Amino acid sequence: MNFDIYIEENSQVKMLNDVINEIYYTADYTVQSKWMGDIPEDIMMKILIFGYMNGAFSSRKIEQLCKRDIYFWWPLEGSKNPDHSTISRFRKKMGEISGENLFIDSTKIEANANRYTFVWKKSVAKNEEKLRAKLPAVLDEIDSAFGIRFPRNTPVPDMIATLSSLMSKVGIVRVTGKGHHKSSYQKALEKLEEYSEKLAQYEYYNSLFDGRNSFSKTDTDATFMRMKEDHMKNGQLKPGYNIQAAVEGEYILGIDISSERSDVNTLIPFLEKLNSLELFVLKNIICDAGYESEENYLYLRSHGLISYIKPVNYEQQKKKNQRTKYGRPENMELAISSYARPAGYFGGAERSMKRARPASFRRKRFTDAKAARAVRTGRTARKQRATRRFRYRTGSKSCGKRAWRTLRPTSADS
């Protein structure tokens, strides 16, 4: 049966068919194919890629589509429908994508939105707080002028309805334009209506933030962030998206659009989305220094994944003088509540705090006792702070050392 008459000329399957045919016609056939099945290799490739394009990743789902979807019948060219075991064997034999080495990187794309239509979460919260602080004074004015006492928790729309009903009973008509004197009822009503409109606007804005600190009025999905391309060199914030891509063997295995301004908070959600697809078993995660954090290190270790994340101070730690430099937390050992240095000075912990992040870790802030002692005894003429403070995060040093050993298993002092 000729299915060509039922398929549009500009359909995805026909465009894919042309691309695959061109690849196989121009390929070097001196290397013998790994596939020896009944269905030709190029047809299996068309079926597999077209299934991925339509969100069908499992072999059983692709098998069902080959049985009942005319767009999958067309590339088969009269061949029998492949079952799920044939599709699985084909993917395994070709061995192009294993998921063993996953390379993750990102780029920021500017949204098609006006860059001056920003809405900031802190500004909305501050303005809403100021507006709600004005409401009690307005209610007191209404109480003293009209004898109407509203409870403090009464919604503003209910106040407007009550005041409008009272105006109708008294026979007061709302007036507009020049030459008309507004009654005190109307002035109070208009003020409540103004407050109600602003509160509704703030409530709408808060529903759009969804964990973000900003958005654009002309593209509410876009978040204001610093772009890699900054021709003005002033760090201007622009509405955009943080695009994450996972690649192996020049194949794009996953794409994710994030509203995070930095890459460090995108790794865990991205990996969880890839794992939910159950396409392959991940093993090695390769990222640049922008993804380094204690949370990411611990997540990868707890899920049995090997981390190849370049530490931020990787190039510095190659130098011996940096590995012995005084005052760097990674060059000191942590005691129960203090840092010990080779010179014998100790820095006591000032306080322990938790960071306001999705995965919070304890951090301690330490005082540099050596600098404090030198200033107290007057044995130094340098202008320096009485205390030098730095922060230590639980487990961060061990995570950094493990990452260093992974990247340089046979490293030596240089």
pLDDT surpassing 50 at residue 337: no
Residue corresponding to tokens 């590339």: 75
Contacting residues for 293 by C-beta, under 8 A, at least 6 apart = 264
Q: By the 8 A CB rule, do 244 and 228 touch?
A: no
Of the candidates 230, 212, 42, 186, the one whose C-alpha atom is nearest the C-alpha of residue 122 is 212
**Crossing angle between the packed helical segments 396-407 and 294-302, to the nearest 10 degrees:** 70
**Of 4-13, 187-196, 221-230, which gets the smallest average pLDDT?**
4-13
Q: Please state, rounded to an integer, the average pLDDT across all residues of the chain.
A: 78
pLDDT surpassing 50 at residue 239: yes
Question: Given pLDDT bands bounded at 50, 70 and 90, which one contains residue 25?
Answer: low
**Of 66-80, 183-197, 328-342, which gets the smallest average pLDDT?**
328-342
Query: Given CA atoms 23, 25, 30, 32 in this order, what sign does their dihedral have?
Result: positive
The residue ranking higher by pLDDT, 243 or 252, is: 243
| Residue 276 burial class via C-beta count within 10 angstroms: exposed 0-12, middle 13-18, buried 19 and up | exposed
Amino acid at 192: L
Residue 365: helix, strand or coil by DSSP?
strand
DSSP symbol at 409: T
- The C-alpha atoms of residue 278 and residue 357 are separated, in whole angstroms, by 28
Q: What angle do CA 27, 100, 56 make, to 5 degrees?
A: 70
105-146 tens-digit pLDDT: 999 999 999 889 999 999 999 999 999 999 888 888 888 878
Of the candidates 273, 242, 272, 265, the one whose C-alpha atom is nearest the C-alpha of residue 355 is 265
Residue 97 CB neighbours (<10 A): 13
135-139, 173-177, 221-225, 253-257 — most confident range: 221-225
Extract the tokens encoding 60: 């059983």
| pLDDT the model gives residue 5 | 74
**Of 46-55, 94-103, 202-211, which gets the smallest average pLDDT?**
94-103
Q: By the 8 A CB rule, do 284 and 304 touch?
A: no
The residue ranking higher by pLDDT, 342 or 116, is: 116
Q: What angle do CA 152, 153, 154 make, to 5 degrees?
A: 95
| pLDDT the model gives residue 77 | 80
| pLDDT the model gives residue 363 | 54
pLDDT surpassing 60 at residue 76: yes
pLDDT surpassing 70 at residue 329: no
Question: Given pLDDT bands bounded at 50, 70 and 90, which one contains residue 243?
Answer: very high
| pLDDT the model gives residue 153 | 81
Question: Given pLDDT bands bounded at 50, 70 and 90, which one contains residue 1?
Answer: low
Tell me phi and psi for residue 97, to 5 degrees. -125, 120
Q: By the 8 A CB rule, do 318 and 404 touch?
A: no
pLDDT surpassing 70 at residue 152: yes
- The C-alpha atoms of residue 77 and residue 75 are separated, in whole angstroms, by 5
Question: Given pLDDT bands bounded at 50, 70 and 90, which one contains residue 382?
Answer: very low
Global pTM reads: 0.66
pLDDT surpassing 70 at residue 319: yes
Strand extents, DSSP E, 138-236:
214-216, 223-226
Contacting residues for 349 by C-beta, under 8 A, at least 6 apart = 337, 338, 364, 365, 366
- The C-alpha atoms of residue 284 and residue 304 are separated, in whole angstroms, by 9
Task: Taking residues 1-15, report their average pLDDT.
Answer: 80
Task: Taking residues 275-304, report their average pLDDT.
Answer: 88
β-strands 237-248, 223-226 pairing = antiparallel
Tell me phi and psi for residue 77, to 5 degrees. 55, 40
Q: By the 8 A CB rule, do 283 and 291 touch?
A: no
Question: Given pLDDT bands bounded at 50, 70 and 90, which one contains residue 209?
Answer: very high
Task: Taking residues 41-68, report their average pLDDT.
Answer: 87
pLDDT surpassing 80 at residue 356: no
Q: Is 361 left (phi over 0), alpha (psi -120 to 50) or beta?
A: beta
Residues facing 105 on adjacent strands = 245
| pLDDT the model gives residue 331 | 65
**Of 141-145, 212-216, 295-299, which gets the smallest average pLDDT?**
141-145
pLDDT surpassing 80 at residue 322: no
Residue corresponding to tokens 């269905």: 39
Question: Given pLDDT bands bounded at 50, 70 and 90, which one contains residue 291?
Answer: very high
Extract the tokens encoding 6: 């039922």
| pLDDT the model gives residue 344 | 41
Question: Given pLDDT bands bounded at 50, 70 and 90, which one contains residue 86?
Answer: confident
Task: Taking residues 394-404, report their average pLDDT.
Answer: 62
Q: By the 8 A CB rule, do 48 and 87 touch?
A: yes
The residue ranking higher by pLDDT, 379 or 211, is: 211
